[in-house]
Amino acid sequence: MTSSELWSRATAERYDAEEAETSSAAALEPTLAFLAELAGGGRALEFAIGTGRVGVPLRERGVPVVGIELSEHMAAVLRRKVDEDTLPVVIGDMATTIVPGEFSLVYLVYNTITNLLTQDEQVECFRNASRHLEPGGRFVIELGVPPLRFLPPGQVAVPFDVSERHLGFDTFDLVEQVLVSHHFTREDGDGRYRRDASRHRYAWPAELDLMARIAGLEKERRVADWHGAPFAQDSPKHVSVWRKPA
């Protein structure tokens, strides 16, 4: 077991509804096209597959997908969409869990590597990806760039969403390199707000490149989004690809 916080049944049950916008066919198309091209007709392994927001439509696109998921509750929601023979899922953490066979693609989307709360565990995640890749295979991570430039001296919080139904902000521990995402979500019907919070270890792009080198992977490219826009100093996130040498 890693330091990742475990998703509860209640969180898993409402996850798809809360991520409906990012789960639409239009929103997912660039992600699926990017990953399918890298898979190149081979098998794909998704770390932290969750409810299958990406893995299920990628499988429907013709890419054989296997998943690793820490939360049994999240995996149970996925299982309502697709059976085990079509999309196998192994319950376990993404830093140490092994599944049979080799893959042309291992991927980790939506900031999920930050669920591992120590640098050592994040390094082990890279090593686990390398362990599963066939020679020439790729490891892909989608991750936000830490928004520390928005922190003036003495401020510890940065808002990331202020809308009618949701208030979200991150607080930062700059010494431990950990942020806490705070969410206040208005419940339908009664006007009350539900409060949730989750811890994450943020990491810089250059730090990930060093983790990849430790795991025997070489950086192939880094872009600003799934459309392939150039990554620049003001990009809020990146999609990075590392390759296992042939």
Across 203-210, average pLDDT? 97
Q: What is the pLDDT of residue 8?
A: 81
Amino acid at position 229, single letter: A
- What would the pLDDT profile of 70-91 be if each residue is shown by its tens digit? 999 999 999 999 999 999 999 9
My answer on whether 128 and 108 are in the same domain is: yes
Among 45-49, 111-115, 157-161, 214-218, the range scoring the smallest mean pLDDT is: 157-161
Across 137-153, average pLDDT? 93
Is 90 exceeded by the pLDDT of residue 155? no
My answer on whether 169 and 228 are in the same domain is: no
Q: Is residue 235 part of a domain?
A: yes
My answer on whether 176 and 105 are in the same domain is: no
Is 60 exceeded by the pLDDT of residue 2? yes
Helix %, strand %, coil % of the chain (to 5): 30, 30, 40
Q: Is residue 1 part of a domain?
A: no
CA–CA separation, 133 and 44 (whole Å): 9
Is 80 exceeded by the pLDDT of residue 5? no
My answer on whether 96 and 191 are in the same domain is: no
Full domain range(s) for residue 26: 9-145+204-243
Share of residues in the chain with pLDDT > 70 (%): 99
Contact yes or no for 235/222 (Cβ under 8 A) = no
Q: What is the pLDDT of residue 94?
A: 96
Q: Which two tokens stand for residue 60?
A: 């429907």
Cα distances (angstroms) measured from residue 37 to each of 24, 105, 137: 20, 10, 12
Residues paired with residue 218 on neighbouring β-strands, in sequence order: 243
Q: Which two tokens stand for residue 68?
A: 């690793």
Q: What is the pLDDT of residue 1?
A: 54
Better pLDDT: 19 or 24 = 24
Q: What is the pLDDT of residue 130?
A: 98
My answer on whether 110 and 64 are in the same domain is: yes
**pLDDT class for 92, splitting at 50, 70, 90?**
very high
Q: Is residue 184 part of a domain?
A: yes
Beta strands 133-144 and 103-108 are: parallel
Q: What's the domain count of the chain?
A: 2
My answer on whether 42 and 111 are in the same domain is: yes
Is 70 exceeded by the pLDDT of residue 211? yes
My answer on whether 116 and 153 are in the same domain is: no
My answer on whether 35 and 106 are in the same domain is: yes
CA–CA separation, 221 and 240 (whole Å): 6
Across 33-47, average pLDDT? 97
Q: What is the pLDDT of residue 192?
A: 83
pTM: 0.93
Amino acid at position 214, single letter: I
Q: Is residue 215 part of a domain?
A: yes
